[in-house]
């Protein structure tokens, strides 16, 4: 008899076997010159699948994100908001504004497969470290430039960008939130994280091309355009109707029913777009006749705005008397989508997420037992993993400069004396814990 | 920071202009993909990305079409197909096949042996139960890359729960809904002061992008090892990865990210404020950048105000709310465009990040996006002139591109089944009569 599907998948994806298996990007080196969220996330996604990421920071201060500390309370002198986009990286501090630093950087780039940066367009070129200069030295290099508005075009020059800018200029904020209320800011840096993912996808496509031709290339990714791409029917709807897509709160205007409801103990999302799913929901509600009601019988009927509104009102009245868990369980029993609105504690404690490594636990040599968002796609042969967490500025100087560039102790000491390379300054966010005794270093 | 090189912009424009894409090679030109996803825009977006990079994507729909074709705003159809589906039909061939029939599954097995990648979004275990899941297909072709999308994934305690994969549940499970939306008015919560989902199908799109990422990782591994693999992607987990420091903060400090409306939990100014003609986003949370904002406002007193005189004090919720009011007293006297011009003309220390909360029509009216090709009007042989969002990625060597918009249900049956299975018109007709196609 064939093994049960889920017994088989449990075995195939067993978290305990991750470190027995190879990594997809083993042998791929990434050099990162990036701050805040977008560029660092782009490199992190590659690190999760085995790339060796060398994160280049300025001596002393390092990445600005080290200091954007929630509530201003560092943890063991580290910043929890710096952690999620800086796992399993090698942190070096190198002053690439100075010629000697630039020369070392060029040597690194020659030995790298990917370069990730998210500086102002043209900054790297100004230092002699841009695509045109580096590709002449290393034609196999794949260069990912992450930005708000792109490397060229009217908005690319002289305009600072943040995630929030991408949210508003893309129209995402406009279509989020309730009618009659202001446009709504998505509560996370979605433009950064998503733009970083698209850049990583493009980078891997470029790797395929390189495998065939031996040639690298330059990639320009604007996070605002990443968000424009995923606003589904917004643009075509305007093209065909000359209307702007309205805000509709939690109700979906293209799938009915699909909404979020208040229950006795929190909020629950419910969706049943296909007619047989809706039939299941109606039965779960003890209202099977709704599935035969001409207003609701077919998806086409339910998508009429009045019908959609009325149906969601009926479901809302039903949900108000139930708990999140009851509705979740009914979804499984009757075959419609139902899920609680989860917060960090719900997610952290959830057994399913833990068993899948979506909440990933690992032991860091400096910080001890840690947990964070794990690699998203689960690959049976080359699973992603987190090996260690973020590290203080310049933590891996000796390891990287000695192993990759072959510098000697005397040369390192000389460069450090001149401030070309360096390590952490005195601010929390950049330095090791106060009780650090030198443990956890490679060299 | 160094001075940007001024020769860069014209050079890179020329080198990555999407208008030059048709003459350049495609990164995935040799890749063949079967997309079986059903009622699922995660799978559809995944195969769109691969198709934009040149893969030959064959959409396999049930005989009456993918239900996703009918997920459309207010029921609106264009030449019989819903708007969201038209957006994700790009560069794909569309065939029908009845996988419920054994004869259909046999045809699928043959097709799969010729394919590099299979994408599906059925309930976990469904394909396996039909005898055409990864276990069975990989026995026929160990090089196959098989990507399954499902809210709860293919393994773990809830994987077999049987609930379908939807955008709204993916969003709810990820944590993004919890942290988005207006704060409750104490003692008098309004109907709109609730956890709020992102307006678009983020819970699907993000999952689809991760699936494309994973397929390319697997392709890289296959090149070295000769082996394919099974990929398990959850849209819920895909978005969860993007919820800032949600889990790390809870693990280290036992603190919860919460929803703070159009402010930000950790930094300020970093949020939306009202202007004469709508709303803008404005940012300047570091000391020097805050100085820049207050200079534009003509309020040099604010950086010295004891509520606002440090990064941390400005981020405190009650201070941020007070600061927002101070900023709005200034901003409501100006239009978004006037403030943008002030920001662009500013030459002092620090930078201000700013943008207008655009209506979709306003974004469509800006030349920047058209020049860069993120918006395109494609003249499609079936659907006519259709405006769709193009591909955000610009590349020098292998730029992605859109070649056609979509195809009707089964439009490519003759071409694809002849090409891969040698089935001519008569045999196709017989299969159609038997309900196999």
Buried-exposed string B66-89: b where 16+ CB fall within 10 A, e elsewhere: bbbbbbbbebbebeebbbbbbbbb
Interface contact B166-A273, CB threshold 8 A: yes
End-to-end CA distance of chain A: 54
Considering only CA atoms, give the Rg of chain A. 25
Tens digits of residue pLDDT in B202-223: 999 999 999 999 999 999 999 9
* Closest chain B C-alpha to A254 CA, distance in angstroms: 4
Interface contact B15-A218, CB threshold 8 A: yes
Q: Is A170 on the interface with B (CB under 8 A)?
A: yes
- Whether the upstream peptide bond of residue B388 has omega within 30° of 0, thus cis, is no
Q: What is the DSSP string of A130-179?
A: SHHHHHHH-TT-EEEEEESS-SSSGGGSS----HHHHHHHTSTTTTSS-T
> What ipTM goes with this model?
0.98
Q: Contacts of residue B81 in chain A, CB cutoff 8 Å?
A: none
Closest-CA residue of B relative to A353 is B156
Contact B183, B324 (CB under 8 A): no
Tens digits of residue pLDDT in B141-166: 999 999 999 999 999 999 999 999 99
Rounded to an integer, the average pLDDT of B90-100 is: 98
Q: What is the topology classification, in CATH, of domain A258-342?
A: formyl-coa transferase, domain 3 (3.30.1540)
Q: Contacts of residue A195 in chain B, CB cutoff 8 Å?
A: 392
Phi, psi values for residue A29, rounded to 5°: -110, 135
Closest-CA residue of B relative to A129 is B5
Q: Is A225 on the interface with B (CB under 8 A)?
A: yes
- Pick the closest to residue A342 from A406, A427, A268 (CA basis): A268
Interface contact A205-B182, CB threshold 8 A: no
Q: What is the DSSP string of B17-84?
A: -GGGGGGS--TTTT-EEEE---S-HHHHHHHHHHHHTT-EEEEEE-TT--GGGG--GGG-EETTEEHH
Q: Contacts of residue B176 in chain A, CB cutoff 8 Å?
A: 186-188, 190
Interface contact A75-B253, CB threshold 8 A: yes
Q: Starting at the edge strand that comes first in sequence, how are the strands of the sheet with B117-120 ordered?
A: A378-379, B229-233, B145-149, B117-120, B32-35, B56-61, B92-96
HSE-up (13 A, CA, CB side) for residue A419: 6
Interface test with chain B among A117, A123, A234, A236, by most B beta carbons within 10 Å: A236
Query: Across the interface, which of B9, B241, B242 has its CB nearest the CB of A156?
Result: B9
* Closest chain A C-alpha to B123 CA, distance in angstroms: 10
Phi, psi values for residue A314, rounded to 5°: -65, -45
Interface contact B163-A225, CB threshold 8 A: no
Question: How would you classify residue A71: left for phi > 0, otherwise alpha for psi between -120 and 50, otherwise beta?
Answer: left
What is the rounded distance in angstroms from the CA atom of residue A397 to the CA atom of residue A442?
10
Compute how many other C-beta atoms are within 10 angstroms of the C-beta atom of residue A92. 27
Closest-CA residue of B relative to A77 is B252
Supply the angle between the helices B425-433 and B413-421 in degrees, to the nearest 10: 110
B270-357 belongs to which CATH class?
A: alpha beta
Phi, psi values for residue A125, rounded to 5°: -60, -40
- Of the candidate ranges A340-349, B263-272, B327-336, the one whose mean pLDDT is the lowest: B263-272
Confidence (pLDDT) at A266 = 97
Confidence (pLDDT) at A443 = 78
Residue ranges of A 360-419 with Cβ closer than 8 A to chain B = 370-374, 376-382
pLDDT at position B317 over 60:
yes
Interface contact A335-B274, CB threshold 8 A: no
Distances (CA, A) of B68 to B82, B89, B169: 8, 11, 17
What is the rounded distance in angstroms from the CA atom of residue B292 to the CA atom of residue B295?
5
Domain limits, chain B: 11-242+371-433, 270-357
- Pick the closest to residue B99 from B122, B78, B115, B76 (CA basis): B122
Q: Is A13 on the interface with B (CB under 8 A)?
A: yes
Interface contact A9-B281, CB threshold 8 A: no
Compute how many other C-beta atoms are within 10 angstroms of the C-beta atom of residue A179. 10
Exposed / middle / buried, residue A10 (Cβ in 10 Å: 0-12, 13-18, 19+): middle
Query: Across the interface, which of B245, B283, B398 has its CB nearest the CB of A83?
Result: B245
Phi, psi values for residue A230, rounded to 5°: -105, 20
Q: What is the topology classification, in CATH, of domain B11-242+371-433?
A: Rossmann fold (3.40.50)
Cα dihedral: A236, A241, A244, A246 (round 10): -100
Question: Under 8 Å CB-to-CB from A110, ≥6 apart: which residues?
Answer: A134, A137, A138
Query: Across the interface, which of B11, B232, B375 has its CB nearest the CB of A378?
Result: B232
Q: Contacts of residue A385 in chain B, CB cutoff 8 Å?
A: none
Domain limits, chain A: 5-229+367-417, 258-342
What is the rounded distance in angstroms from the CA atom of residue B254 to the CA atom of residue B240?
18
Q: Which two tokens stand for residue A267?
A: 């909020």
Query: Across the interface, which of A121, A123, A202 has its CB nearest the CB of B1?
Result: A123
3-state secondary structure of A378: strand
What is the rounded distance in angstroms from the CA atom of residue B273 to the CA atom of residue A6?
50
Interface contact B70-A126, CB threshold 8 A: no
Distances (CA, A) of B153 to B146, B148, B149: 14, 8, 7
Tens digits of residue pLDDT in B105-152: 999 999 999 999 999 999 999 999 999 999 999 999 999 999 999 999
Confidence (pLDDT) at A439 = 87
* Closest chain B C-alpha to A199 CA, distance in angstroms: 7
Q: Which two tokens stand for residue B142?
A: 């160990």
Interface contact B124-A254, CB threshold 8 A: no
Tens digits of residue pLDDT in A148-200: 999 999 999 888 889 999 999 999 999 999 999 999 999 999 999 999 999 99
What is the rounded distance in angstroms from the CA atom of residue A324 to the CA atom of residue B67?
28
pLDDT at position B342 over 60:
yes
Tens digits of residue pLDDT in A248-275: 999 999 999 999 999 999 999 999 999 9
Q: Contacts of residue A171 in chain B, CB cutoff 8 Å?
A: 358-360, 362-363
Confidence (pLDDT) at A322 = 98
Distances (CA, A) of A16 to A19, A38, A348, B106, B319: 7, 31, 19, 36, 47
Phi, psi values for residue A241, rounded to 5°: -120, -10
Compute how many other C-beta atoms are within 10 angstroms of the C-beta atom of residue B225. 16
pLDDT at position B307 over 70:
yes
Exposed / middle / buried, residue A333 (Cβ in 10 Å: 0-12, 13-18, 19+): middle
* Closest chain B C-alpha to A98 CA, distance in angstroms: 10
> Pick the residue with more confidence: B429 or B4?
B429
- In the DSSP assignment, the letter for residue A55 is E
Interface test with chain A among B1, B2, B147, B373, by most A beta carbons within 10 Å: B2
Rounded to an integer, the average pLDDT of B4-12 is: 93
Q: Is A68 on the interface with B (CB under 8 A)?
A: yes
Q: Contacts of residue A40 in chain B, CB cutoff 8 Å?
A: none
Q: Which residue has the tokens 């955000």?
A: B392
Q: Contacts of residue B67 in chain A, CB cutoff 8 Å?
A: 273-274, 299
Q: Which of A44, A113, A192, A220 is catalytic?
A: A192
SS3 percent helix, strand, coil of chain B, rounded to 5, is: 40, 15, 45
Confidence (pLDDT) at B2 = 64
What is the rounded distance in angstroms from the CA atom of residue A127 to the CA atom of residue A56?
15
* Closest chain B C-alpha to A243 CA, distance in angstroms: 8
Interface contact A344-B257, CB threshold 8 A: yes
- Pick the closest to residue A304 from A270, A254, A261, A260 (CA basis): A254
Distances (CA, A) of A195 to A37, A391, B89, B399: 10, 24, 22, 17
* Closest chain A C-alpha to B425 CA, distance in angstroms: 33
Q: Is A254 on the interface with B (CB under 8 A)?
A: yes
What is the rounded distance in angstroms from the CA atom of residue A172 to the CA atom of residue A230?
9
pLDDT below 50 — which residues of chain A?
none
Q: How confident is the model at residue B1 (pLDDT cuts 50, 70, 90)?
A: low
Q: Contacts of residue B229 in chain A, CB cutoff 8 Å?
A: 379-382
Cα B117 from chain centroid (whole Å): 20
User: Is-catalytic flag, A259?
Assistant: no
Q: Contacts of residue A218 in chain B, CB cutoff 8 Å?
A: 12, 15-16, 395-396
Rounded to an integer, the average pLDDT of B23-46 is: 98
Q: What is the topology classification, in CATH, of domain A5-229+367-417?
A: Rossmann fold (3.40.50)
Closest-CA residue of B relative to A253 is B73
pTM higher than the cut 0.90: yes
Interface contact B200-A172, CB threshold 8 A: yes
Confidence (pLDDT) at A150 = 98
Interface contact B360-A25, CB threshold 8 A: no
What mean pLDDT is reported for chain B? 97
Question: Under 8 Å CB-to-CB from B143, ≥6 apart: which residues?
Answer: B116, B222, B226, B227, B228
Q: Which two tokens stand for residue B391?
A: 């591909």
Q: What is the DSSP string of B372-423?
A: TTSEEEEEETTTEEEEEE--SEEESSS----------TTTTHHHHHHHHH--
Interface contact A209-B27, CB threshold 8 A: yes
What is the rounded distance in angstroms from the CA atom of residue A80 to the CA atom of residue A374?
15
Tens digits of residue pLDDT in B370-414: 999 999 999 999 999 999 999 999 999 999 999 999 999 999 999
HSE-up (13 A, CA, CB side) for residue A267: 24
Distances (CA, A) of B67 to A258, A299, B61: 15, 10, 9
3-state secondary structure of A388: coil
Q: Contacts of residue B274 in chain A, CB cutoff 8 Å?
A: 182
Question: Under 8 Å CB-to-CB from B242, ≥6 apart: which residues?
Answer: A188, A189, A190, A193, A194, B174, B176, B206
Interface contact B351-A160, CB threshold 8 A: yes
Contact A293, A286 (CB under 8 A): no
SS3 percent helix, strand, coil of chain A, rounded to 5, is: 40, 15, 45
Helical (H) or strand (E) element with A327? helix A324-334
Confidence (pLDDT) at B305 = 98
Interface test with chain B among A164, A274, A278, by most B beta carbons within 10 Å: A164
Tens digits of residue pLDDT in B81-91: 999 999 999 99
Residue ranges of A 132-151 with Cβ closer than 8 A to chain B = 132, 149-151
Q: Is A278 on the interface with B (CB under 8 A)?
A: no
Question: Under 8 Å CB-to-CB from B277, ≥6 apart: which residues?
Answer: B335, B336
Compute how many other C-beta atoms are within 10 angstroms of the C-beta atom of residue A60. 17
């Amino acid at each position: 008899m064939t093994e049960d599907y889920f017994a088989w998948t449990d075995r195939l994806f067993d978290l305990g076997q991750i470190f027995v298996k190879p990594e997809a990007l083993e042998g791929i080196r990434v050099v990162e010159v990036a701050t805040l969220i977008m560029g660092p996330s782009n490199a992190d996604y590659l690190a999760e699948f085995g790339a060796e990421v060398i994160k280049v920071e300025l001596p002393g201060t390092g990445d600005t994100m080290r200091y954007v500390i929630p509530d201003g309370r560092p943890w063991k002198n580290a910043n929890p908001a710096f952690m999620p986009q800086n796992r399993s990286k090698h942190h070096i501090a190198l002053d690439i504004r100075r010629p000697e630093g630039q020369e070392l950087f060029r040597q690194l780039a020659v030995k790298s497969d990917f370069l990730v940066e998210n500086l102002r367009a043209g900054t790297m070129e100004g230092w002699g470290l841009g695509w045109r200069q580096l590709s002449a030295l290393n034609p196999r290099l794949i260069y990912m430039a992450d930005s708000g508005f792109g490397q060229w075009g009217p908005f690319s020059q002289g305009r600072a960008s943040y995630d929030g800018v991408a949210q508003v200029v893309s129209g995402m904020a406009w279509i989020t939130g309730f009618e009659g209320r202001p446009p709504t800011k998505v509560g996370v840096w979605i433009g950064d994280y998503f733009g970083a993912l698209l850049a990583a996808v493009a980078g891997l496509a470029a790797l395929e091309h390189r495998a065939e031709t031996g040639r690298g290339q330059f990639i320009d990714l604007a996070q605002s355009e990443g968000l424009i791409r995923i606003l589904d029917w917004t643009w075509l709807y305007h093209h065909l109707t000359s209307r702007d897509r309205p805000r509709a709160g939690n109700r979906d205007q293209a799938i009915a029913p699909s909404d979020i409801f208040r229950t006795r103990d929190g909020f629950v999302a419910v969706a049943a777009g296909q007619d047989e799913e809706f039939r299941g929901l109606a039965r779960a509600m003890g209202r099977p006749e709704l599935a035969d009601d001409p207003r609701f019988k077919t998806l086409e009927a339910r998508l009429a705005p009045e019908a959609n509104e009325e149906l969601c009102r009926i479901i809302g009245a039903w949900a108000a008397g139930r708990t999140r868990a009851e509705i979740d369980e009914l979804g499984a029993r009757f075959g419609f989508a139902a899920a609680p609105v989860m917060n960090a504690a719900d997610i952290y404690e959830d057994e399913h997420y833990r068993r899948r490594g979506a909440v990933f636990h690992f032991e860091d040599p400096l910080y001890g037992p840690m947990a964070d968002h794990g690699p998203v796609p689960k690959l049976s042969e080359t699973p992603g993993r987190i090996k260690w967490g973020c590290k203080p500025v310049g933590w891996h100087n000796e390891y990287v400069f000695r192993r990759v560039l072959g510098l000697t102790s005397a040369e390192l000491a000389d460069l450090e004396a001149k401030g070309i390379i360096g390590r952490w300054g005195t601010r929390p966010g950049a330095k090791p814990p106060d009780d650090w005794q030198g443990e956890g270093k490679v060299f | 920071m160094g001075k940007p090189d001024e020769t860069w912009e014209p050079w890179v424009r020329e080198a990555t202009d999407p208008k030059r894409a048709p003459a350049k090679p495609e990164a995935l030109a040799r890749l063949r993909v079967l997309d079986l996803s059903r009622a699922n825009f995660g799978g559809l977006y995944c195969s769109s990305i691969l198709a934009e990079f040149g893969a030959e994507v064959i959409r396999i729909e049930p005989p009456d079409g993918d239900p996703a074709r009918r997920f459309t705003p207010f029921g609106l159809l264009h030449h019989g197909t819903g708007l969201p589906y038209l957006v994700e039909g790009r560069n794909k061939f569309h065939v029908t096949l009845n996988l419920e029939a054994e004869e259909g599954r046999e045809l699928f097995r043959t097709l799969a042996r010729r394919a590099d990648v299979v994408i599906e979004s059925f309930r976990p275990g469904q394909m396996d139960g039909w005898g055409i899941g990864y276990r069975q297909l990989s026995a026929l072709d160990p090089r196959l890359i098989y990507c399954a999308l499902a809210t709860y994934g293919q393994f773990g305690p809830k994987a077999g729960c049987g609930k379908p994969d939807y955008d709204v549940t993916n969003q709810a499970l990820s944590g993004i809904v919890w942290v988005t939306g207006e704060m409750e008015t104490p003692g008098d919560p309004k109907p709109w002061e609730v956890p709020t989902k992102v307006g678009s199908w983020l819970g699907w799109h993000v999952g689809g992008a991760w699936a494309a990422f994973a397929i390319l990782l697997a392709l890289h591994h296959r090149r070295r090892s000769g082996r394919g693999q099974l990929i398990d992607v959850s849209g819920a987990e895909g978005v969860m990865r993007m919820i800032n420091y949600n889990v790390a903060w809870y693990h280290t400090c036992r603190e919860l990210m919460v929803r703070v409306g159009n402010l930000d939990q950790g930094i300020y100014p970093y949020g939306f404020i009202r202007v004469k003609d709508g709303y803008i986003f404005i940012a300047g949370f570091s000391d020097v950048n805050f100085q820049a904002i207050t200079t534009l406002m003509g309020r040099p007193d604010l950086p010295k105000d004891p509520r606002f005189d440090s990064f941390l004090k400005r981020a405190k919720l009650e201070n941020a709310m007070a600061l927002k009011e101070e900023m709005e007293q200034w901003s409501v006297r100006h239009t978004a465009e006037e403030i943008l011009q002030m920001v662009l003309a500013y030459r002092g220390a620090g930078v201000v990040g700013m943008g207008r909360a655009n209506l979709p029509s306003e974004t469509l009216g800006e030349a920047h996006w058209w020049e860069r090709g993120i918006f395109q009007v494609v003249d499609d042989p079936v659907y006519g002139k259709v405006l769709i969002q193009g591909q955000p990625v610009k590349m020098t060597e292998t730029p992605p591109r859109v070649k056609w918009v979509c195809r009707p249900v089964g439009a490519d049956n003759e071409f694809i089944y002849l090409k891969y299975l040698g089935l001519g018109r008569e045999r196709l007709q017989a299969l159609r009569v038997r309900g196999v196609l």
